[in-house]
Amino acid sequence: MMSETFLTDSNGTALTRQQVIDRLCQYDVHLMLRNIDEGNYNWLSDIREHGFQGYKNYSDDELRAEWQESEEGYHSMVYHEDQPYEVIG
């Protein structure tokens, strides 16, 4: 069964909702590790204090907005081969 396209990114790649979530999670881990390496613990501390609802719980509009905010950084991370792990799919 083929999953439905949720959005098409700026590179023209059709992504399912799950693929967007996987990419956002990968980018978040990248940012978290980079911030820790730089001695900046603000984001990690904030998540621990206030929590995180999880991308799976975002509405479609919230998820699209989050991707729009993160897409350029995500593609830069991939271009520079800075992914902390590979995303399947």
19 part of a folded domain: no
In a domain, 79, yes or no: yes
* Residue span of the structural domain in which 50 resides: 28-84
Q: Report yes or no: 87 and 33 within 8 Å, Cβ to Cβ.
A: no
pTM for this entry: 0.91
In a domain, 61, yes or no: yes
- Per the structure, the count of domains in the chain is 1
- Smallest CA-to-CA distance from 65 within 14, 34, 20 is with 20
Question: Residue 46 domain-assigned?
Answer: yes
Asked if residue 34 is part of any domain, the answer here is yes
**Res. 88 pLDDT band, cuts 50 70 90:** confident
Token pair for 49: 């204090």
Encoding tokens for residue 67? 């991707």
**Would you place residue 4 in the very low, low, confident or very high pLDDT band (cuts 50, 70, 90)?**
very high
Q: Give residue-wise pLDDT tens across range 31-84.
A: 999 999 999 999 999 999 999 999 999 999 999 999 999 999 999 999 999 999
Sign of the dihedral through C-alpha 31, 71, 11, 7 = positive
Domain presence at residue 6? no
| Separation between Cα atoms, residue 29 and residue 51, nearest integer Å | 16
Residue 13 lies in a domain: no
